[in-house]
Amino acid sequence: MTSYEATRAWADARDAADPLRSFRDEFLIPPHHGADSLYFCGNSLGLQPKAVRAAINDELDQWGTEAVEGHFRGPLPWLTYHETVREHLAEVVGARPDEVVAMNTLGVNLHLMMVSFYRPTAQRPAILIEAGAFPTDRYAVESQIRFHGFDPATALIEVEPDSEGGGISQATIERVLAEHGARIALVMLPGIQYRTGQAFDLKAIVDAAHARGCVVGFDLAHAVGNLPLQLHDSGADFAIWCSYKYLNSGPGAVGGAFVHQRHGKADLPRFAGWWGHDRATRFRMGPQFVPTPGADGWQLSNPPILALAPMRISLDIFHRAGMDRLVAKSRDLTSYLEWLVHTRLPETLDVVTPSDPTQRGAQLSIRVRAGRDAGRELFEYLMEHGIVGDWREPDVIRISPTPLYNRFSDCLGFTDAVVAWRDR
């Protein structure tokens, strides 16, 4: 176990010895009164890589000089531009390249996947989600249930937390599957629960759900670029995610989807679009839709080049840093932050997120013991002092030390600020 110290000298020494320290210099850190802010909000919006501006300008130049011929000319022709992010995206999520595609946004991709993978019957109409799911998931699954003519009051099953902090154990998930599995068409759970920061065991969920005849999909909004994902090996049927959090691809960035290899050539129902048509015959403009094999076959329209450019830059950073090294640093940073909270602020803060590093990512969800009003007061104090986290109702402050650009000294700075707030 690492021996931590709550001193500036110790934190600075750890930062100096960090083999990933140079990656921080590739990001724009928001300023605060002439110094860098302490930015712990990569779980909501990742920072801008410095190389993004030039990448977008390159495509603007291509548009200006080549116009429509930019689809076929230049170093990165637009016709195949989405393929430039495929390999590195597959690395990040632990998938085969043909199993992933960058397209649309998370909510759109979730609906597109459910068209194919939520096929309810009178005997098996239900969708399983976690209680307190992110509104995107809740709204989407409820609307899909209604669209198919079923009632969410009976066809939406929610797994309730079984721990004081709001976590849900694998045993509870399996108990619910044992009780309701014969009625469940789709298990739709997150990789990380957004409010508590709990990470789920994807393969264990897939194995348990498949044994009951259920299809399994995951919302990886808070897990992609954060957890050591192995989507192919997990056996998940599909997954979707956004790219503006840990993937640093910009506000409203292009999202992504995973479709397991076993479904890549299957004749599944889907909402078809021209860009999902087999590339070899796409420009023959025929009336018969022939899907491209793999995840590409779920595309609707040609990719937004100016929006994909930031993702290409960020995924190159991930490729150079390596997910194994990023996860190792993330666990060390988050453990240090947790140790600081427990050591310096045991009477002030409670950590909701599991202590087991394998059951969380780069996030601690924190409650102020004095209650919601004090929690909101602390959050606003932190923001005023250049420490950027985020607030989630009813009473959670989320602090996420992201390994690409956060430091051990940032974690110390956070607890310094909470101590100053407490001792005012």
- Are 202 and 116 members of one domain? yes
At 313, which CATH number? 3.40.640.10
Split into its structural domains, the chain has a count of 2
pTM of the model: 0.96
The predicted model gives 310-323 an average pLDDT of 98
pLDDT attached to residue 164: 83
Percent of the chain with pLDDT over 70: 100
Res. 266 pLDDT band, cuts 50 70 90: confident
pLDDT attached to residue 20: 98
Residue 174: inside a domain: yes
Query: What is the per-residue pLDDT across 88-122, written as a single tens digit (0 to 9) for each?
Result: 999 999 999 999 999 999 999 999 999 999 999 99
Q: Tokens 């666990």 correspond to what residue?
A: 331
Residue 358: inside a domain: yes
Res. 13 pLDDT band, cuts 50 70 90: very high
Residue 114: inside a domain: yes
pLDDT attached to residue 247: 98
At 375, which CATH number? 3.90.1150.10
- Are 292 and 368 members of one domain? no
- Are 330 and 315 members of one domain? no
Distance in angstroms (rounded) separating the CA atoms of residues 259 and 297: 10
Res. 213 pLDDT band, cuts 50 70 90: very high
Give the end of a domain, one of 270, 292, 319.
Answer: 319
- Are 175 and 291 members of one domain? yes
Residue 251: inside a domain: yes
pLDDT attached to residue 267: 87
- Are 343 and 291 members of one domain? no
Res. 33 pLDDT band, cuts 50 70 90: very high
pLDDT attached to residue 363: 97
3-state secondary structure the chain: CCCCCCCHHHHHHHHHCCCCHHHHHHECCCEECCEECEECECCCCCCCECCHHHHHHHHHHHHHHHHHHHHCCCCCCHHHHHHHHHHHHHHHHCCCHHHEEECCCHHHHHHHHHHHHCCCCCCCCEEEEECCCCHHHHHHHHHHHHHCCCCHHHHEEEECCCCCCCCCCHHHHHHHHHHHHHHEEEEEEECECCCCCEECCHHHHHHHHHHCCCEEEEECCCCCCCCCCCHHHHCCCEEEECCCCCCCCCCCCCCEEEECHHHCCCCCCCCCCHHHECCCCHHHCCCCCCECCCHHHHCCCCCCHHHHHHHHHHHHHHHHHCHHHHHHHHHHHHHHHHHHHHHHCCCCEEECCCCCHHHECCCEEEEECCCHHHHHHHHHHHHHCCEECEEECCCEEEEECCCCCCCHHHHHHHHHHHHHHHCC
- Are 32 and 61 members of one domain? no
Q: Tokens 């016709």 correspond to what residue?
A: 79
Q: Within a 10 A sphere around the Cβ of 55, how many other Cβ atoms?
A: 19
- Are 94 and 193 members of one domain? yes
Of 115, 124, 107, the C-alpha closest to 209 is 124
The predicted model gives 205-226 an average pLDDT of 98
Token pair in block for residue 184: 């469940």
- Are 247 and 174 members of one domain? yes
The predicted model gives 242-268 an average pLDDT of 96
Residue 2: inside a domain: no
Residue 148: inside a domain: yes
Res. 133 pLDDT band, cuts 50 70 90: very high
The predicted model gives 51-62 an average pLDDT of 98
Distance in angstroms (rounded) separating the CA atoms of residues 205 and 171: 10
Res. 155 pLDDT band, cuts 50 70 90: very high
Question: Domain span at residue 171?
Answer: 56-319
Percent of the chain with pLDDT over 90: 97
Token pair in block for residue 342: 């427990």
Give the end of a domain, one of 319, 351, 384.
Answer: 319
Residue 1: inside a domain: no
The predicted model gives 398-415 an average pLDDT of 98
Give the end of a domain, one of 279, 299, 319.
Answer: 319
Q: Say what angle helices 106-117 and 135-147 make with each other, to 10 degrees.
A: 40
| pLDDT(1) > 60 | no
pLDDT attached to residue 90: 98
| pLDDT(165) > 90 | no
Residue 180: inside a domain: yes
- Are 150 and 94 members of one domain? yes
- Are 111 and 216 members of one domain? yes
73-100 in b/e form (b: 16+ CB < 10 A) is ebebbbbebbbbbbebbbbbbbbbebbb
- Are 207 and 113 members of one domain? yes
Q: Which residues pair with 179 in a beta bridge?
A: none
Q: What average pLDDT does the structure give for the chain?
A: 97
- Are 334 and 244 members of one domain? no
pLDDT attached to residue 289: 94
